[in-house]
Amino acid sequence: MKKSNKRPSTKVVSGTVWTDNQNWTVVEGKLKPAPGRPSKTERLFLYVGEKLPFGCLNDVWCKISNDHGDPEGIYLAHDSMGAARYGGRGRIFNRLYSHQRKYPKELLYFSFYVIRSKNHERELETAILRAAGPQMILNKRKVRSDISTGNITDYEPGTLFFARQQRRGKRAKPKH
């Protein structure tokens, strides 16, 4: 496999959003493209936050809502080991608040992805939830623990796909 010579983006931290005075500090910032990378490249996400402690939920929400109102996107709630246990899409912070109130001992961290264009929000949600698989014990709608496939219509119309199907009709009788 050929190794890429491209340098990743650089983190530029602009300030502290929240601290718990013990272990965690949450900062905000922007990714600056590496030299030589096109600056006009369109990015997929407007905001990203991964495995943040639930204690900072209100502070992060206030920072984002000052610029963009009540954002919608994809969210995940994680347990103490960092495994995603619930996820979905919609009004991110309202949904995370309700899940954290319902499962305060199970859910300790959250992740969110505010997507610039809502056109592919549903498809991203489906891909993330299916990749998480059976560990998503709190959300069974788009996740299966067996080898059955999900519903292909969860993706946007016009998507080209490949799907596994069982053969129908009379089955051959086993020979004794």
pLDDT tens by residue, 37-50: 666 667 888 899 99
Taking residues 10-21, report their average pLDDT. 89
**Half-sphere exposure (CA, 13 Å, Cβ side) for 93?**
18
Measuring CA to CA, which residue among 118, 116, 113 is closest to residue 129? Answer: 113
To which H or E segment does residue 94 belong?
helix 92-102
pLDDT greater than 60 at residue 75? yes
Give the chain's mean pLDDT.
81
Taking residues 22-47, report their average pLDDT. 82
The 10s digit of each residue's pLDDT in 57-67 is: 999 999 999 88
Give me the sheet containing 45-53, strands edge to edge: 45-53, 109-115, 72-78, 84-91
**Residue type (1 letter), 86:** Y
Domain containing 57: what range? 12-31+42-154
**Residue-level pLDDT at 11:** 86
The string of DSSP codes covering 127-148 is HHHHHHGGG-TT--SS--SSS-
**Residue-level pLDDT at 62:** 94
Q: Is residue 110 part of a domain?
A: yes
Q: Is residue 119 part of a domain?
A: yes
pLDDT greater than 70 at residue 3? no
Q: Is residue 106 part of a domain?
A: yes
Q: How many domains is the chain built from? A: 1
Q: How confident is the model at residue 173 (pLDDT cuts 50, 70, 90)?
A: low
Asked if residues 116 and 45 have their Cβ atoms less than 8 Å apart, the reply is: yes
Q: Is residue 162 part of a domain?
A: no
Total length of the chain: 176
Q: Which range among 25-29, 77-81, 95-99, 145-149 shows the weakest confidence by mean pLDDT?
A: 145-149
Q: Is residue 118 part of a domain?
A: yes
pLDDT greater than 80 at residue 145? no
pLDDT greater than 90 at residue 77? yes
Q: Is residue 161 part of a domain?
A: no
* Distances in whole angstroms, Cα of residue 150 to Cα of each of 68, 143, 146, 164: 33, 7, 10, 11
Taking residues 8-28, report their average pLDDT. 88
**Residue-level pLDDT at 137:** 64
Q: Is residue 137 part of a domain?
A: yes
Q: Is residue 116 part of a domain?
A: yes
